[in-house]
Chain A
Amino acid sequence: MTALDVVFALFASTAAAGALLAVTSRHVVHAALWLVLALGSLAGVYLVLAAEVVALVQVLVYVGAVVVLVLFALMLTRAPIGVRADLDAAPGRRRVAAVAGLATSALIGGTLLAAIGSTAEVPAGDGTASALGSATFTGWVLPFELLSVLLLAALVAAIAISRGRDADTPGLDDLAPGGTADRADPGAGSAAPAPAAAPAPATPAAPSRAVGPDGTS
């Protein structure tokens, strides 16, 4: 057993422990923080396997973006933050989830078991930042640049549906043909906060799509 194996085992067991604690915790914020531990240790595992870029992406996207998104969602909504006993789903759903989890584990475990003993030569230097970088900026430069266009489009789209130009914004009434007549509308002011909740359809689109490319670019 080399030192590398020991480090690998350490990272791997930390990741597994973090994942277990994340799902068993009765405290939503703690669960999110355990998730940081699990995902961060996974980045360590990638690092031990000499996939430095994947490790960095793991830290940027999962630890940096996904978990932060979870914490922000907890912070900005009225989600329960304290210790809760009612975090578990209904028994029926729990059983389905358990079956799905076990099936996935069996699939991945089975693949791993089947692969034991067979070795494959991994070309050295494939996972390095320089190899990936030169591939990205030579052959793949057009799709890569196109991703920035995609992000910009998502950003514009998100702003278009979520930004509330409130009817009582100063200066807006100057444009109205009736001028001050519109201010008499008592409902306009009270309706102003609604925009945050209103634009149901595409709001989730932008953030969830933005995450992947955002972290990698």
Chain B
Amino acid sequence: MTPLLSVPVAADFVAPTVDYVAVLPMLIVFGAAIVAVLVEAFAPRASRFSIQVGVALVGLIAALGAVGKLIVDGTRVETAGIPAADGTLAASIVIDGPAIFLQGTILALSILAVLTMTERSTDGGAFTPQASAVPGSPGEGAARRVGLVQSEVFPLMLFSVGGMLMFPASNDLLTMFVALEVFSLPLYLLCGLARRRRLLSQEASLKYFLLGAFSSAFFLYGAALLYGFAESVRLADIAAAITGTGRPAVVGQDGLLLLGIALLAVGLLFKVGAAPFHIWTPDVYQGAPTPVTGFMAACTKVAAFGAMLRVVYVALPGARWDFMPALWGVAILTMVVGSVIAIVQTDVKRMLAYSSIAHAGFLMTGVLAIDKIGISGVLFYLFVYGFTTIGAFALVSLVRDAGEDGVGGEATHLSQWAGLGKRHPMAAGAFTLFLLAMAGIPLTSGFMGKYAVFSAAVSNGAWVLALIGVLASAVAAFFYVRVIVLMYFSEPSGSASVVATPGVGTLFAILLSVVVTIVLGIAPTVLFGPAEAASLFLP
């Protein structure tokens, strides 16, 4: 791909050249977000929610179409990389194979996330009617009776998606940082908008915001130190400063380099939820409105792993022997912590949160393989994991307390899931499928994903990592299967739960996730081909 922006060497102002086709997906999403802000301001209240849903869906589908056009213009993707050899050209955004694959994944997942967010048939939806009302106050009750709805979630979510699209395509640390903030800031807020258990939700939001701001500061400091090392924030320049290709290597500044890498890694590892930077994950996943949790769990992970891949493969291949041992430790710790602590969880959302931590560890084994198979394995894994996660959280949002006046809040305590298989075989069956896929049982997509990253690790001599990964998967399978046993072979005890009748959006999201999980488990080559073709980063 030709770099999108060329920096002129001369002092005279030369307008930058932007390849608008290549950045079209991002422009469409940001444009839709701005339209959604205008809708929020001008549309009548009665029709605002449905207009917002329409704008979000049309924007995301159009952006997915634009990504499709980039895929169809395959030659542009394949011939990329040659112009970048010219030292005077530098792009803020690079649209290469991994970027296109990840953007397509993020857009497809966020379409499903929007569909789950539209669910209003049960209990008036997942979002609070009025975020500013004091929890439990009469004002809140009045807002609920009047049927207010916080439809700002859609523009905020679109802003977040736009940032996520840009994050793994950023070609320098500065753009990456701005994209990180653009996708994080709306998420901090979305976490605090739950309809039920609002104090928990607000606590989650505050925690996520404070820790997220902290991790952003780490990222920025790391970027500053790397700038001090390489005199440039561009990933390719940093790589050149380390190895000395095309310019003299920087020597005697290893302190700057290593400290910079470490701080940058803290920022990225926080976003993917890797131990020991995972502390926020269970609280935030539990407190956030469930559709937002699904969106966050799937899409943030895709974007953040995409950026991590780009940093590791484009900027730092020359320093890999310096940071690999540390990242090995992080990967092992993440797999072990996620799998082991998940066993003792009694809340289904917290359990899925720890499971997502374990998955971050599995994904890191693929990242650390440092070759083409590793990249394609991670890309495949991210795709299948995203669909399973969105589907699982969509189902969590349907299982409700059985109150005397119909459907109550979400029944997230595991004891309430006992016997669900007999009363609601369809929902329990779908959830079982997602759990099996997360556990990595053969004939589900999760198995192929795990196989891809572990085999990449083994083929690069990291068999210790793969072995620990397999053991951790076995431990993780225990708690997944435990939930399945609970659903099918236990009698319900304690408060009863019912499965609410899903609306069209949620139903579609769940069905599509089921289809993807089964199809990619049986015929993984459908996606392995594209993932392999896409697995070439361009500097």
Q: Do A and B come from one complex?
A: yes
A binding-site residues for B, Cβ under 8 Å: 131, 134-135, 137-143, 146-147, 149-150, 152-154, 156-157, 159-168, 172-173, 175-178, 182, 185, 187-188, 190-192, 194-195, 197-202, 205, 209
10 residue pairs, one from A and one from B, having the closest CB atoms = A187-B138, A167-B142, A191-B139, A195-B132, A139-B7, A160-B152, A201-B206, A153-B159, A201-B205, A157-B189
Do A202 and B189 have beta carbons less than 8 Å apart? yes
Residues of B within 8 A of A199 (CB): 131-132, 192, 202
Residues of A within 8 A of B290 (CB): none
B266 at the interface (CB under 8 A from A): no
Question: Is B156 a contact partner of A185 (Cβ separation < 8 A)?
Answer: no
Q: Residues 141-153 of chain B: 1 if any A CB is under 8 Å from the residue's CB, otherwise 0? A: 1110111101011
Q: When the two chains form their complex, are residues B185 and A153 in contact, meaning their CB atoms are under 8 A apart?
A: yes
> B residues engaging A (CB < 8 A)?
4-5, 7-8, 11, 13-16, 18, 23, 30, 33-34, 37, 40, 45-46, 90, 92-93, 130-135, 137-143, 145-148, 150, 152-153, 155-156, 159-160, 162-163, 166, 174-175, 178-179, 181-182, 185-186, 188-189, 192-193, 202-203, 205-206, 209, 213
Q: What is the bound-complex CA distance between A177 and B146, given in angstroms?
A: 7
Which A-chain residue is minimally distant from B188 (CB atoms)?
Answer: A202
Question: With A153-B185, A156-B155, A201-B205 in contact, is A182–B134 under 8 Å at CB?
Answer: no
Nearest Cβ distance between residue A177 and chain B, in whole angstroms? 8
Neighbour of B205 across the interface among A166, A190, A202, CB < 8 A: A202
Inter-subunit contact A200/B202 (CB<8 Å)? yes
- Known A175-B45, A191-B137, A192-B139; judge A138-B159 contact (CB<8 A): no
Provide the bound-state CA to CA distance between A199 and B213, in Å.
19
Give every chain A residue within 8 A of B93 (Cβ-Cβ).
142
Given known contacts A137-B13, A159-B152, is B206 in contact with A202 (CB within 8 Å)? yes
Q: A160-B131, A160-B193, A205-B189 are in contact. List 14 more A-B contacts (CB 8 A).
A: A134-B11, A138-B13, A142-B93, A156-B40, A156-B156, A160-B152, A161-B189, A164-B133, A177-B147, A188-B142, A191-B137, A192-B139, A195-B134, A201-B192
The contact of A160 among B7, B46, B189, by CB within 8 Å, is B189
Bound-state CA distance A192–B140 (Å) is 10
| Residue from B8, B134, B146, B193 having most chain A Cβ neighbours under 10 A | B146
* B46 and A175 contact, CB distance less than 8 A: yes
Checking A134, A139, A150, A205 against B209 with a beta-carbon cut-off of 8 angstroms, the contacting residue is: A205
Q: Nearest CB to that of A138 among chain B residues?
A: B16
- Across the interface, name the chain B residue whose C-beta is closest to A181: B145
Nearest CB in chain B: distance from A142 CB, A: 4
Q: CA of A63 to CA of B269 in the docked complex: distance in angstroms? A: 36
Residues of chain B within 8 A of A197, CB atoms compared: 134
CA–CA, A181 to B162, complex, Å? Answer: 44
Q: In whole Å, how far is A168's beta carbon from the nearest beta carbon of chain B?
A: 8
Shortest Cβ distance from residue A32 to the other chain B in the assembled complex, whole angstroms:
24
Q: Which residue, of B142, B182, B205, has the highest number of chain A Cβ atoms within 10 A?
A: B142
- A195, B129: Cα distance in complex, Å: 13
